[in-house]
Structure 1
Amino acid sequence: MTPHLIVSYLTSRAGGPGSGKGTQCANIVEHFGYTHLSAGDLLRAEAQSGSKNGTMIENMMSEGVIVPSEITIKLLEKAMLENENDKFLIDGFPRNEENRAAFESITGIEPEFVLFFDCSEEEMERRLLTRNQGRVDDNIDTIRKRFKVFLESSLDVINYYNSKGKVKKIDAGKPAGEVFEAVKAVFAPIR
């Protein structure tokens, strides 16, 4: 059976970190029964594992650069295979066109749709600097690098899926409850 795959982008014209992705993914899991797979969480867990790849991942993340596709895809694929659910919500991946093409080629899976959450860069920066989760990538220099990476590479992924009619755009600058009302409207037809 082919899994139902939703790629979640809570992002904006200027980048995506800090748009409330974790909050909305938790709501989607609770209300619609999807398994949430965060590429960032999987990478951070691998970085803390002490493995050879873990050290490289930690160094790349602290610099705000994208981890090689093969590594992230292997972590995502492993997580999917270890889960009994066939409905997955993946966030934070693909980050660029090469990630997208590699994921679809290796797994044979294309998402049903892509959530694109629009939020101003100023609001995302404010959220990141106040969330205080102790993450190595939540500092002003890395945050701004992440915004730049989005503009240079992730927007191509959004444009690709938009050309296929798969992008669902939601205003993420509103309060979380209002954002989730818009999310529910997107998910309702596929329940």
Structure 2
Amino acid sequence: MAAISTCGVNFRAGGKSQRPPPSSPPPYASLCPPSSVSAKTPKLFFSSKLSVASSNSCISLRSNQTLFTPRLGKSHGTALVVASAKPEPLKIMISGAPASGKGTQCELITKKYGLVHVAAGDLLRAEIASGSENGKRAKEYMEKGQLVPNEIVATIVKERLLKPDAQENGWLLDGYPRSMSQATALMEFDFQPDVFILLEVPEGLLVERVVGRRLDPVTGRIYHLKYSPPENEEIAARLTQRFDDTEEKVKLRLRTHHQNVEAVLSLYKDVTLKVDGSVSKEEVFSQIDLALTKLFEDRKATSGTLAA
């Protein structure tokens, strides 16, 4: 019966469990010397799953989360491994000024790439509602009209990013970090993005987008008097404007945003993708999609470098 041995991996061949010697190379580095299987050199590929059978035996190997599938030929016992590597999931941060279209792009990105959408504000509100220790501490600061300390928010974000779905599928961190201290806290937790997307929109257009926004208190839908007007007069009559959606207040918010984002960019300058956010949402997403597709394809190619 043919046998294949690897380092530090239990495998089954013909129903018997064996433990290879510790001096063997790692399973993804090589198979056994040709003499143990065949004089013909086998091909080795990365694989996310392994399950192979020949006419005489079934062999399965697992190393970490990579599974290999050797197959023994009928006449020569040649080992052939067929595999498809699963690339490392994407880790993305996205930033943009108020009314830059960040929310829309987050929806489009997560829909296509299957990433876990993580918004710090939503996490904070959920934490408070849950009554957790961090939630209670955050609520105390908010009730006093104070900002929630960075270490509390960073801890909440860290715990979310460490959940299995985010680790397996990748994540899209929305609007966070917003300051150097927040970015530093994430770096201390060893969270680094593959891409930091920055939506750039001229200030005049941002002001126009914000000042023209209106809220329907009945449905919760957001309209815009110019770009997305209400369907009828009945809806138009009940629309309201947020208290901070005035030109004076939005300009103040924009100044704060620009100051903070410049500090954050200094940490992520090597992975920053600046996107023109003044065009249509489809055109904005096309710019983002082009960059992410290239990154994803490069990662797939890298993960298969051991393929022969």
How do residues 44-123 of structure 1 correspond to structure 2 at under 5 angstroms? Answer: 44-46=125-127, 51-57=136-142, 59-60=145-146, 67-86=148-167, 87-105=170-188, 107-123=189-205
Residues in 1 aligned to 2:139 and 2:200: alpha-carbon distance in whole angstroms: 32
> Is this contact kept in 1: 2:105–2:281, CA < 8 A?
yes
Q: Is the 8 A contact 1:19 1:117 kept in 2?
A: yes
Looking at structure 2, the residues matched to 186 and 159 of structure 1 have their Cα atoms a distance apart, in angstroms, of 20
Q: Compute the displacement of 1:122 (Å).
A: 2.3
Larger radius of gyration: 2
**Is 1:144 equivalent to 2:144 in the alignment?**
no
Report the count of equivalent residues. 178
- Report deviation, 1:128: 2.9
- When structure 1 is superposed on structure 2, of 42-51 and 79-88 the one drifting more is 42-51
| Gaps in structure 2 of 5+ consecutive residues | 1-64, 66-87, 216-221, 223-239, 297-308
Shift of 1:176: 0.6
| Equivalent residue, structure 2, for 1:5 | 91
CA–CA distance in structure 2, aligned partners of residues 135 and 108 of structure 1: 41
Worse-matched range after superposition: 67-76 or 165-174: 67-76
The offset of 1:42, in angstroms, is 2.3
Give unpaired runs (5+ residues) of structure 1: 11-15, 61-65
Matching residue of 1:63: none
Map 1:143-182 to 2 at 5 A: 143-162=250-269, 165-182=270-287
Greater relative contact order: 1 or 2 (C-alpha under 8 angstroms, separation 6 or more)? 1
Alignment root-mean-square deviation, CA: 2.8
Task: Specify the alignment match of 1:13 in structure 2.
Answer: none
Displacement, 1:81? 3.0
Q: 1:26 to 1:118 in 2, by over 3 A?
A: same
Native 8 Å contact 1:8 1:114 kept in 2:
yes
Which is richer in helix? Answer: 1
CA offset at residue 45 of structure 1?
4.0
Indicate how the Cα distance of structure 1 residues 4 and 188 shifts in structure 2: closer, same or farther if over 3 A, else same.
closer
Residues 131-172 of structure 1: CA deviation (Å, up to 9, x unaligned):
53589784335533321222332211113322xx21111100
